[in-house]
Amino acid sequence: MRIEDGAVRVPGRRPQPVAGADLAVLRLCDGTRTVAEIAGAAGLSEAEAERSVRALVAGRWVHWRLEVPSGTYPEAGLRAILERIGDPAVREPALERLAVLERGRDAVGAAGTDDAALTAALGALEADFAALTATEAQRAKGARTAPCRGVVYADCRRSATAVLGRELLGELTPLALCLTAARWMTNRVAERIRGRLRPLWERLAAEADGGRVDLASLWLACLPSPHPRAEEDVAAVQAELRAKWARILEVPEGARRVRLSSRDLADRVREEFDEPGAGWSLARYFSPDVLVLAEDADAVARGDYELLLGEMHCALNTMGASLFVHQHPDRGALVAETSRDFPGPRLLPMLPKELPLKWSTRSRPSLERPEDYHVALVDHTGDPLRQRTVLAADVAVEDRGGALVAVLPDGAVFDLLDVYANTLTQRVMDRFTLRPEGDHTPRVSIDRMVVARETWTLPVAEMGFSGEKSEARRFVRARAWARERDLPRFVFVVSPTEPRPFYVDFDSPVYVNIFAKAARRLARHDAGARLVVSEMLPTPEQAWLTDDEGRTYTSELRFVAVDQTAGAGEPAGAPEQAADARALAVDAGVRADAGALAVDAVGRAGGGVGPAVGAGVRAGGAGVLTRGVRVPAVDAVGRAGGAGVATAGAARSEGGR
């Protein structure tokens, strides 16, 4: 809502007049003032100010509640709020209750990897939390909530390091082809969504007094964000992406393994996909996860290895996630790299506290700078004391030079799609694929990099074993079903009814039961649906990363590719970045166990389609010169009830645990 000409304007409603004390109080309700402070500023008694506030709350123009800002450390935000309470009789008991939880948190941290101490500390903290809040300490699974989310979680950086040499980095050439195609995909999605938003804006402009369209009205008109038909558009773009790759790869019918050369494919990729970036601001980022397939580090040194493109996260800087940013030894370096990518301020949509299942507190975007703007599109869950926070109702949407832009109250101008950046990214972040549609698609390698695992798309109606009542017979029938289709022992499964892929070992009755349950759930939802089953790579024998005691760990190399095409995702009217016209720069990093630390230095490309890869890389024509990069590996997650550390890595990249 916004106040204009003595009236409150709410999207979809007629202006409603407000005057006198109510108007004065409403103007002062900014999320930072108490009733007493509002009374003093408005020249009212506290009782008069409270009456106005209650009337405004009843009219649903004002929220009067304690709202803890979203963040990695919400307890710190809550403490800051409680310390501002003027009445000691209210403030001190509230702070003491919070201190109980803070002491419990510290006890969990002090327990380290001692199983008994950690279990006891977690139990005590959960009991205190339940007693103080009358709320369960672990959240039940819901439509927007993953199961077993607890009060605290543990993250840490592992002390292990890995050194990447120029030979291994030189094998990343196939990423250039994939990055070029991924940029094309985000361009097409942006193009379609712009086309969807335009008629909505034109309708609102025709209906509005004076033709002014505020962002709040447009946002509500196109829910679910970014548009009700966005999923249809993304699916169409993905289908076109698959068709283009099918023409490029020309995979033989019935093949199980296909190996191709990047040199042979480069011209075809350029013809099908090469174009400058034209997406939203986040669409300049592409974050490929690369895994090394090798028995051990000695095998890597001998050159006895392959690489695997695990996932290509599109329109997303994975190194901006909370768990990486807040454990990085030099957060300032990450912010400096962000400023290289965005020399000017960004417009960041304020995220709601409840995010889709694939997001969590640990993965919330956290690379923010003081100069960046935040726009509140939903309930104000950010920090009201933060500078450069604007309300959607105060942002105008205008047509400037044939492009829709968001104009902030201070005159700053941004591409309208920046407002939808996070919802657009959620739609496309995991939609990149080289795999064509089909009942079976082979493992595809380009040079020494596997870019597509062998995959089967199987009708749930053919999984008769899933309904078998006897667990023993179910296990036997499931193994027979897998053998008939020549499935490997270890696979990952994607189901439309599951939020993430899950792991299956066909030699394990427990995992077969999990698989059968997922199949039954899908069959109830849609008897004609299909499950996607893919081979597990790397295999358990290919965990090359070890510690000083010889224990093996799954791992990933995480990269952030930055599209430096002129004008890619720039705010309207902002200066373009100085960069080569076809460069994608990649920050190199190592991911070990459940996480990664990414930025060391940035490579810049000097020509051609695709990226320069690794720190100190210079690409100019056919040759690539690199130097080794030494990057700390990070983020082993402490868990209670086991040896103290649960590792993930390759399994986690596929959604397994």
Per-residue pLDDT at 402: 95
CA separation (Å) from 614 to 197, 219, 373, 599, 632? 38, 40, 31, 10, 15
Q: Are strands 583-588 and 610-613 parallel, antiparallel or unpaired?
A: parallel
pTM exceeds 0.75: yes
Tokens of 9: 């304007």
Spatial distance between the Cα atoms of 278 and 565, rounded to a whole number of angstroms: 9
Per-residue pLDDT at 275: 92
Strand partners, 612: 585
Radius of gyration of the chain from Cα atoms? Answer: 27
- Residues 6+ positions from 638 with CB-CB distance below 8 Å: 112, 113, 118, 154, 156, 644, 645, 646
Tokens of 18: 């407000």
End-to-end CA distance of the chain: 44
Q: Model confidence over 343-399: pLDDT tens digits? A: 999 999 987 776 665 667 788 888 999 999 999 887 666 677 788 999 899 999 999
Spatial distance between the Cα atoms of 226 and 84, rounded to a whole number of angstroms: 38
Three-class SS state of 304? coil
Strand partners, 610: 583
The torsion of the CA quartet 566, 571, 575, 578, rounded to 10 degrees, works out to: -30
One-letter-per-residue 3-state SS of 559-574: EEEEECCCCCCCCCCC
Sign of the CA dihedral with 115 first, then 117, 118, and 122 last:
positive
Among candidates 336, 184, 178, 276, which has minimal Cα distance to 579?
A: 276
Spatial distance between the Cα atoms of 64 and 44, rounded to a whole number of angstroms: 18
CA separation (Å) from 77 to 81, 376, 383, 420, 626? 6, 18, 9, 27, 44
Domain boundary assignment for the chain = 2-58, 74-152, 164-431+544-651, 454-536
Are 571 and 347 contacting, i.e. CB atoms less than 8 angstroms apart? yes
How many residues in the chain? Answer: 657
| Second CATH level (architecture) for the domain 2-58 | Orthogonal Bundle (1.10)
Spatial distance between the Cα atoms of 354 and 144, rounded to a whole number of angstroms: 7
Spatial distance between the Cα atoms of 345 and 571, rounded to a whole number of angstroms: 9
Per-residue pLDDT at 647: 24
Per-residue pLDDT at 619: 25
Classify domain 454-536 at the CATH class level. Answer: alpha beta
The list of the chain residues with pLDDT below 50 reads 566, 568-569, 571-657
